[in-house]
Structure 1
Amino acid sequence: MSKILLVEDNPDAVKRIIRYINKIFAELDVVSFPEAGEALQYAKANDVSLFILDIQLEDYKGTSLAKQLRELPEYKYTPIIFETALAGEELSAYRDVKCYSFLVKPFDEEEFAAAFRDALGLSKQMNQQAKTIQIEQKQFILEYAAQDIAYIEAFGKKLVIHTISRLSGIKEDTISGYTLSGLLALLDDPAFVQCHKSYVVNKSHIEKIDKSGRKICLKGFTDTIPIGNKYQAELWG
């Protein structure tokens, strides 16, 4: 579930904004703080998809909070929406912090919804593009970009991760201590589905599906992936 961090010290404004968000996507997890310091600590301990920051806060400015967030690698490009009654802060926010959008109080529901939908859409796109997983192997940690994984193959108690990078001459990795279901949970991405008891495939790399032959052809790969009877629904319903 995506987390939205709202930093606003006006209780009525908090209630109104949460109401607006719930009308757009009720399943989103909205967390609010009245102070920048508390919000910063929360952001460091949690994965936030989008920030909504009031510029005038109880302890220090929302623009200062945004600068602190931008110094954290995980939030270097995370969308930030500023809200304030001081329209003169707009140019400074855009120049110094690279905020995504700017709402001048009082703003109505339509204005908020337009900015919020755009920013949330960008956040989802960025997360999908940048998502990586880390796999521990003895004294090493292997990191993969989810988009680079074409399919995963099980051999007994070992797994082989086949990546698009392999097409450029980089050898695939054999890992131990993980199951296909465990890697699926780690990936947590609807693009990855189990198509056979021994295979997980990234649907975004499928070139074609041979239903009669029960096999999958992947872009750039000569090997085909089998489809198990119990897994057909995952591919074509």
Structure 2
Amino acid sequence: MGLILLVEDEPGAVALMRRYVENSSPDHTFAAFPKAAEALSYAVEHKVDLIILDIQLLDYRGTELARQLRAMPEYRFTPILFTTELAGEELSAYREIKCYDFLVKPFTEAEFHKAFRAALAMGEQMLAAPEILRIEQKQFLFEYEIGTILYMESFGKRIVIHTAQNGGRMVADQISGYSLAKLLDMAPQNRLLQCHKSFLVNPAHISKIDKANRLLYLKGCETAIPIGEKYQKAVFERERP
């Protein structure tokens, strides 16, 4: 059973969309809030599968709420549908927030069902797909499947990402404009582990931890990764994925 979050301050629109959701997908649970702050608190406490946002809200704009949700790892790729009476605003929503679709009020039940079902299908595809870390570099977007990442090493303003490819071949890519802390936040929860101020590792690849010398070793990788004193407790607790 999925959870739909609606943020809408018009009671009539809430009742209408609640009926549309029930007609389209009766197995889904429906939660509605008139204010963005209330919806954000709810989303923190509950895992939401689809978000429907009115751009104009009582306390602040729905686009700002969407930005806050997108900043949370669990909602980075959750489908968002915008509803608006101002047809020009959906363009900025597409560019800035990467919403899935928009509905211009007043919309019909058929229009709602089409966008709603397509957004749910997209969400299901995202869940079924491999976990991906997406990194923007100028006009390019690089995608790394989390399972292939061995470790990341920081060299000041430059970070090297080491991945394992088919056949055991290792590849090292350089990126800029990101910190290890930012990359750790961008990755799915608990899928990367900071073991040193200059290193992130994928705990699924840890083969051995040398506690005496504060070193860890990764499967298929000859490099010994240092363990910083600040991070050793977290590393030792995650010795096995």
Give the TM-score band, short-chain normalised: 0.5 to 0.7
What does residue range 111-150 of structure 1 map to in structure 2 within 5 Å? 111-129=111-129
| SS of alignment partner, residue 56 of structure 2 | coil
Alignment match, 2:236: none
Question: How do 1:91-110 residues align onto structure 2 when only pairs under 5 Å count?
Answer: 91-110=91-110
Matched residue type, 2:26 = A
Q: Distance in 2 between matches of 1:89 and 1:6?
A: 19
Separation of aligned partners in 1, 2:27 and 2:109: 18
Distance in 1 (CA, whole Å) between partners of 2:5 and 2:89 is 21
Q: What is the 5 A alignment of 1:2-17? A: 2-17=2-17
CA RMSD of aligned residues (A): 2.4
- 2:68 match: 68
Equivalent-residue separation in structure 2 for 1:41 and 1:69 (angstroms): 10
State the 1:81 CA deviation: 0.2
Deviation at 1:88, TM superposition (A): 1.4
Runs of 4+ in structure 1 deviating by more than 2 angstroms, as ranges, are: 128-131
Query: 1:129 Cα shift?
Result: 2.7
- 1:128 offset after TM fit, Å? 2.6
Aligned length: 140
Tell me, which stretches of 5 or more residues in structure 2 are unaligned? 132-144, 148-166, 169-241
Counterpart in the other structure of 1:84: 84
Aligned partners of 1:78, 1:47: CA distance in 2, in Å?
10
Task: Write the letter of the residue equivalent to 2:12.
Answer: D
Report the Cα distance in structure 2 between the residues aligned to 1:130 and 1:124, rounded to whole angstroms.
12
Instruction: Within 5 Å, give how 1:34-73 maps onto structure 2.
Output: 34-73=34-73
Cα distance between partner residues in 2 of 1:42 and 1:122 = 22
Using the TM superposition, give the Cα deviation of residue 38 of structure 1 relative to its aligned residue in structure 2, in angstroms: 0.5
Instruction: For 1:96, give the aligned amino acid.
Output: E
Q: How big is the shift at 1:130?
A: 5.1
The CA distance in 1 between the partners of 2:127 and 2:58, in whole Å, is: 31
Residue 58 of structure 1 aligns to a residue in which SS? coil
CA distance in 2, matches of 1:130, 1:16: 36
* Identity fraction in percent: 55
The TM-score normalised by the length of structure 2 is 0.54
Q: CA deviation at 1:123?
A: 0.8
The one-letter code sitting in structure 1 at the alignment partner of 2:48 is V
Give the AA of the match of 2:74: E
Q: What 5-or-longer segments of structure 1 have no aligned partner?
A: 132-144, 148-166, 169-237
